[in-house]
Amino acid sequence: MGRLKLQNGIKAIDEEPGNCDATYSKKDTLACIINSEIGAVLAVMRRNVRWGGHYISGDDQLEHPLIQSLKVLRKQIFSWQHQLHTINPAAYLQPFLDVIRSDETGAPITGVALSSVYNILTLDVIDQNSVNVEDSMHLLVDAITGCRFEVTDPASEEVVLMKILQVLLACMKSKASVILSNQHVCTIVNTCFRIVHQAGTKGELLQRIARHTMHELVRCIFSHLPDVQNTERALSNGNNTISREIAGINNEYPSGSRQLENGNMSSEFDSQLLSTNPALNASSGLVESGMDEKTTGASSGKEAVQYESRLMAEPFGVPCMVEIFNFLCSLLNVVEHIGMGPRSNTISFDEDVPLFALGLVNSAIELGGSSIQNHPKLLSLVQDELFQNLMQFGLSTSPLILSMVCSIVLNLYHHLRTELKLQLEAFFSCVILRLAQSRYGASYQQQEVAMEAVVDFCRQKTFMVEMYANLDCDITCSNAFEDLANLLSKSAFPVNFPLSSIHILALDGLIAIIQGMAERSGNGSVSSAETLTNLEEYTPFWLMKCDDYSDPAHWVPFVRRRKYIKRRLMIGADHFNHDPKKGLDSCKELISCLTNLILKAWPVLHEFAGTFDFQDMNLDTALRLFLETFRLPGESQKIQRVLEAFSERYYEQSPQILANKDAALLLSYSIIMLNTDRHNVQVKKKMTEEDFIRNNRHINGGDDLPREFLSELYHSICKNEIRTTPEQGASFPEMTPSRWIDLIHKSKKNAPFIVSNFRPHLDQDMFAIMSGPTIAAISVVFDHAEHEEIYQTCIDGFLSVAKIAACYHLEDVLDDLVVSLCKFTTLLNPSVDEPVLAFGDDPKARMSTVTVFRIANTYGDYIRTGWRNVLDCILRLHKLGLLSARVASEAAGDSEVSLTQVMATP
């Protein structure tokens, strides 16, 4: 059922059955504490005239029931004869809870009663072994979340609200929290968020405490996720009542400045956040109210509501976590629309509210971790709602928000990357790469944060390998590794200005990648990077499959073959864009099975349309996705053919409403006309909804389409224009809603994510791509740097490059590296005045010289033409008298022979 496992043997107080004195002593201690709390509450109550006198009821003069119940408890506590866990917690909690729920008590009295409950809870005398603990904990939560009190002054009101937060958090942290129902856990979170919202009109201290409590609650709840049994029975509906209720705050109370009328915790937000349905114990109604419209009057709907109600009444586990996480995701949807009103604190709303919501999400992911993938509903929320919101907030102008988004994505990569292949690709393509380059309008702060994020990912040892294997070697995906490596190498170049923080960050990213490869080069045998591709037995790339994605013996040659085909197709596509005939010739061997189709444009269009998956898509969404992949021609005849191919494919996969493909064609053409009419500034008289519906009468096999269906299409087009893809190279792709829907569709059918170990399976392939730009970038930074710390970073990079080049016998790379380093020694520059002093005063020259000799000594067997430069440095040092006599004589005697041997080596 997806609930928490009760841990047997955990007791609130470790009693000693054999020692009666010890047992009674602990009971006496509890009795003394409760007695003290009773005295504190009664003392505060007696300060008020209302409670200081007698309570008049009819002809009798009696004490008020609240005072009477406290006094009765005081008489009973010292007469308990049973062990602690056999005492019903409700017996000593009820009098305090009655005070808390009473609307006759003022804030000071309610505050003391809350403190008493908190003190009792923190004694850890209540655990899952206590008698009647479930009813007691539910009674406790209902009382605290239904707290009522009279407001005497703003300060005392804030104190009570802070104590409510304190008690609710203590409830979740107590050993008996596993007994709480899913519904009550949701109610606790709901109440805490209401106080967070109210705190916006009060003091900053209350606001910060409320938000801190919210974070702690989320961490406490999701820390249990690894202990929850795997289940498929999370909430069956994906909706979230809390999110809609919070959206209602904006409609009902746009300023958020209304004060509590009588201190009732439930009074202001009952209609928005809490349900008063007694069947749900006055809880938040997370399930029932959210399903009313869909289930009323239908027997199956009633059964669904009953099932959800039963599920929420069970001990807390996955169902409440799904609801809470869905709520957290919804905060990112409505956060821009919640009006917080005038506030006295100095927190910036534009950044603060999104940061708060993102922080809650991050806490849930940190604590839930990889266990999220064991629960389909939670995983689905991460893959769709959460990641889509992260994509939107990632493009925020706030560097703080971008930084938090990047931290969340890094956590998601660490815990759930096997389930987020396409989402990660989209994030890097549409957010990070878009912001990290100044020519796309990002501020310097955004560029810096984006570059920091790239470096953080590069420091994950297997990140680049997995990006290369899963994306660069997938024909349907972008070249994420190549794009990121190019970004780093280009960003490290200081062109016409001194080194900045971005240059240093880019250098750190490159060094992290190279050092990771260098470390892996010693982990086992290195496989050859030669691609064995038998084109005579060519299999269409869309049909290629790997026998075992977990075995490197299978997936390594598989991804190399796909990378080879992808590279050839990209070259062919580039040629085709310039000359179609040359493009086809360059790819003929790869697409020989389609040669006959390519000779005719029309069959190719249908084959192209057949590559789309429109299943379960709305017509306008499918049409957007289709038209975003190419530029629609202007001629009506060509538009007709394009729409015919689309309509045939759409009807083939989604025939539910449309009678035939002709209906799909006519409606698609009508949508194109509507799009032009509504979004073309030259059209003065716009088409109305009635015009659109009238234009589409009798197109569905002679019948009319449902009015609601056409109305939804009309408003969708009016609100969101259909845009075709921009000119190539204009900008990085934008993640439109239709593209996101397509991404989610593809992710469900995607090949398994390849998880790399710490073996150098693809390092040679990757190093061949980035070695040249990397050496150049490190060299330029080394040349422009002025601090020895940066010198050492560059030297570490040079040594890592040398190790990798030697490991893969890349003599050309090693020669280029040696030549580059020798230039920095200043020994080969004859124009230097007083060369001995210059060499001695230049730490860069000395470090370069030492590095050259270290590489020559360690990897000399793989150096070819670079030996000339090494020997020239040695001879120069000898000429300057900087070598010892023995080294100088050996170098002078062997230099001519050694040089001749090196030059004779093929």
Helix (H) or strand (E) holding 767: helix 763-784
Distance between CA atoms of residues 300 and 824, nearest Å: 79
Distance between CA atoms of residues 388 and 735, nearest Å: 9
Where residue 463 falls (left for φ over 0; alpha for ψ -120 to 50; beta otherwise) is alpha
* 734, burial (CB in 10 Å: exposed 0-12, middle 13-18, buried 19+): middle
Which residues touch 587 (CB under 8 Å, ≥6 apart)? Answer: 568, 569, 571, 572, 573, 576
Q: Is 60 helix (H, G, I), strand (E, B) or coil?
A: strand
Q: Choose the catalytic residue: 293, 537, 635, 834.
A: 635
CB 54 within 8 A of CB 61: yes
Q: Alpha helices, DSSP H only, in 369-462?
A: 376-381, 387-394, 399-416, 421-427, 433-435, 444-458
- Residue 819's nearest CA partner among 840, 833, 805, 836 is 805
DSSP output for 699-737: TBTTBPPPHHHHHHHHHHHHHS---PPPPTTSSSPP--H
Residue 811 annotated to the active site = no
Distance between CA atoms of residues 420 and 399, nearest Å: 24
Which residues touch 438 (CB under 8 Å, ≥6 apart)? Answer: 444, 447
Estimate the crossing angle of helix 737-748 against helix 619-627, to 10 degrees.
90
Distance between CA atoms of residues 540 and 598, nearest Å: 15
Distance between CA atoms of residues 589 and 594, nearest Å: 10
Distance between CA atoms of residues 210 and 363, nearest Å: 16
Angle (nearest 5°) at CA 267 between 262 and 270: 175
Which residues touch 800 (CB under 8 Å, ≥6 apart)? Answer: 511, 514, 515, 517, 518
Which residues touch 232 (CB under 8 Å, ≥6 apart)? Answer: 376
**Catalytic (active-site) positions:** 635
